Structure 1
């Protein structure tokens, strides 16, 4: 327990640099020892906040990171920069730390709920400013607490443009010394090349703009407040936005605009005798994030990992693996149908109704009817069953409109006979152009996915029998459509788990295979044992144990790492890894997903993160340069059924020479029996064990 508390306190230090790891925090804490006053007061503030959190019963929330305690830490560091260690100073710092924690918790709750914005270091700016102002009234503190700062001589031997960078880095921890800044620069380089790059770009872009405005490069490079430029560049270029060339441009523009605020702040706060702290960083970063969020900027980070490189790798992998949306629908029919019109189609799927699909049935010649097509019964789709694409409650039914003769349309009743279903996930699905009198469900009725709704007709604005499908935000018939995607279908011999078929594609819904579902359903505490071979030589024996995370997600635990997996919408997924285990990475490479459906030679495609294939300098270089060109980091996995229980695949990557060949054989009872990936081979060595 004590070890966990120490890790949490140390994470408060690393959070200041947008890095959440206790080891990094330990290094940063060691740097504060250069100035014992800063070190002790910072520690007093963060400990006071942590004790207050425990007293209020919130300690469990802080065992994972230092998110709520890095602001109190910064307040303590700022007070330590001004006042020497004394019982009176420690009392004031402890009170300020507790107040900062309370304000942090309050501001986070308000900002995350109403603005969906981080609070950054606003609580620190607010409380530190108040503490500095209040200290002017504490005569006892001013007499006994103020002290002179010692400065090293190393900066005398460095050019001002370089010493200015180092002192600005050190100023982040209220130690504007080149030794501290140099150590932090090295730390950034070791932890994240992207943050290292952004720190340099942010500082020099802001300082150059400042030099042009004030007419003095020397004065610009000696201003320690330019740490704001470093923070802005790192926050916008690598943390809250996905690292990319566009994000870097936004970061530089934000830094340039912040010079106006920084200089105005220096003039204003100077009259009160206090520094402006990180106010420019907070205001500019939050303003840009808010505008980007309102305008729907696509590169806002939805998941922030330990480093910008990890965030970028996760983003690229997820966007390539899961192309669809969270509004997922199954195909509303059985058998093979053709996409007649897709989203943003050339006829009726425009404007507010652009997100929709129309389906017809075609023959080998591409015709939708037999004979001359003069009669509705000549059309292959007419009278075919329409199935519920989701589970939900029926909120709207129209069933009395007459079917149009082929080539004619009812302009007065665009949607024709229809069914509207409310999905529990918060949206409505409309299916239109049913055959008159064929709908077999009623308003208020609950239906499961795949239930019969009615039969395909030609009512409404429909020149030929077809099924119209769209998602909308309200239950009102014909409401504006929302983006959605289709799950669990095949097209041209390829399986799609969650995607949007193209116009003209022939699609067919799959029915999950019960045997495959059983084989890939794992029980808690079940173990899978494998002998690991490389080039035919026994290398290792591994055991993977099935565990469950706090959110209900299952994972394979090897003791070194975790590989999360699950079944969703007709597909078995190996989602992602935590920690580092080479064998789990190889498993994910060999079979990142598997449809719960077998058809001879059925193929599918997926992607894997670079961490599953690369390690060390090569992965570091790929991730750094892929921020400028995302396609540089792309690992594709193509798989196909080669036999009822066997899958063959190929792994290709832009950073890989020859493709890697994979082969996976399923165990008839459960799990995997045999895996091959190039010269690596895994053989199931013992039966599974299940604790009942």
Structure 2
């Protein structure tokens, strides 16, 4: 019986190490929507300012996710833009922060999580792509939430001690803000996107965004300022505001809704501020929700707010999606 040979598959051009490194740096930068390798390098410097191990985990997580995407022949342009690496960055970094960076088990989980999140991203991209809705950091949120909630059940994974991030607590502190807490909180909002509460780390992150885009930097500042006002007006504890716990989701929402996914106009600016305000309130709600079973808020408020607001755009003629 005669058989028909399968069609030949054209071999992809070989990926050079320098190109791979640029892909990885873009992936780190894409955590804040910036496809700039220079910005990615600045972000790694910011993480190193908080602790060299955090920069290492972020770099390894993005490299593993990017290599996995290349190995499975994901669209080269997509990978080169960093769109299959940034969730790996956040997964690995979150494990370092919440499970302890100095443990071999944490490092192994970070590598495994960075591989897994590529497949989660592809699955969500297939589903959400039907409606032209981005996956954002949902793959990271899903992967990290599963692991951190499950971690206490595994003796070789769960570690307690000084230096590990604590679970969020219900409001119980003073709501009075002084000037130092205001400007610390304004800058910490940028750092908390990468789980870093230090104001000087947030300042370096903001500089990295500014290098790539003045519009993005302006919207990041607008989102941070909006979150400060809303959190204060609603009576959020001042300590959480100063550490950036109430505002980092608002920074991402503001950037996404004016300049990244929507054309920057006066209407999208107002739309972004409304979204940033909503994300601040949703952060408090989701913090209370996750606290009940030992989870973490991560960037769930950003994901849910941005998805809803982006999905609404076709019904709002004043707004326009970027082509």
User: Does TM-score exceed 0.5, indicating one fold?
Assistant: yes
* Structure 1 pair 69–191 and aligned structure 2 pair: CA distance change class (3 A): closer
Question: Hey, what does 2:31 align to over in structure 1?
Answer: 16
Q: Does 1:132 align with 2:148?
A: yes
Contact 1:71–1:100 (8 Å) recurs in 2: yes
Contact 1:42–1:74 (8 Å) recurs in 2: yes
**What are the ranges of 5 or more consecutive residues in structure 2 without an aligned counterpart?**
1-15, 166-177
Question: Hey, what does 1:104 align to over in structure 2?
Answer: 121
- Work out which of the residue numbers 84, 90, 97 in structure 2 matches 1:74: 90
With normalisation by structure 1, the TM-score equals 0.40
Contact 1:170–1:177 (8 Å) recurs in 2: yes
- 1:178 Cα offset (Å): 1.3
Comparing both structures, which one devotes a greater share of its residues to strand?
A: 1
Contact 1:211–1:219 (8 Å) recurs in 2: no
- In 1, the alpha carbon distance for the partners of 2:109 and 2:238 equals 39
Question: Hey, what does 1:48 align to over in structure 2?
Answer: 64
Contact 1:168–1:224 (8 Å) recurs in 2: yes
- In 1, the alpha carbon distance for the partners of 2:54 and 2:245 equals 17
**What are the ranges of 5 or more consecutive residues in structure 1 without an aligned counterpart?**
151-156, 303-692
Contact 1:10–1:66 (8 Å) recurs in 2: yes
Deviations 1:307-363 (A, max 9, x none): xxxxxxxxxxxxxxxxxxxxxxxxxxxxxxxxxxxxxxxxxxxxxxxxxxxxxxxxx
With normalisation by structure 2, the TM-score equals 0.84
Q: Does 1:212 align with 2:233?
A: yes
- In 2, the alpha carbon distance for the partners of 1:33 and 1:222 equals 18
* Structure 1 pair 158–181 and aligned structure 2 pair: CA distance change class (3 A): farther
Larger Rg computed on CA atoms: 1
Q: Which has the higher contact order (CA 8 A, sep 6+)?
A: 2
* Structure 1 pair 61–237 and aligned structure 2 pair: CA distance change class (3 A): closer
Secondary structure class of the residue paired with 2:34: coil
* Structure 1 pair 258–172 and aligned structure 2 pair: CA distance change class (3 A): closer
- 1:254 Cα offset (Å): 1.2
Provide the alpha-carbon RMSD of the alignment. Answer: 2.3
Deviations 1:390-447 (A, max 9, x none): xxxxxxxxxxxxxxxxxxxxxxxxxxxxxxxxxxxxxxxxxxxxxxxxxxxxxxxxxx
- In 1, the alpha carbon distance for the partners of 2:211 and 2:85 equals 25
* Aligned ranges 1:122-521 → 2 under 5 Å: 122-143=138-159, 147-148=162-163, 159-214=180-235, 220-302=241-323
Question: Hey, what does 1:88 align to over in structure 2?
Answer: 105
* Structure 1 pair 56–193 and aligned structure 2 pair: CA distance change class (3 A): closer
Contact 2:181–2:238 (8 Å) recurs in 1: no
- 1:215 Cα offset (Å): 6.5
- In 1, the alpha carbon distance for the partners of 2:30 and 2:96 equals 19
Contact 1:4–1:63 (8 Å) recurs in 2: no
* Aligned ranges 1:644-655 → 2 under 5 Å: none
- In 1, the alpha carbon distance for the partners of 2:137 and 2:259 equals 17
Secondary structure class of the residue paired with 2:188: helix
- 1:9 Cα offset (Å): 0.6
Contact 2:240–2:246 (8 Å) recurs in 1: no
Deviations 1:503-536 (A, max 9, x none): xxxxxxxxxxxxxxxxxxxxxxxxxxxxxxxxxx
- In 1, the alpha carbon distance for the partners of 2:288 and 2:184 equals 24
- Work out which of the residue numbers 41, 46, 57 in structure 1 matches 2:73: 57
Secondary structure class of the residue paired with 1:58: coil
- 1:58 Cα offset (Å): 3.0
* Structure 1 pair 300–58 and aligned structure 2 pair: CA distance change class (3 A): closer
- In 2, the alpha carbon distance for the partners of 1:234 and 1:84 equals 30
Deviations 1:16-51 (A, max 9, x none): 111101121111122222323322222332232233
Comparing both structures, which one devotes a greater share of its residues to helix?
A: 2
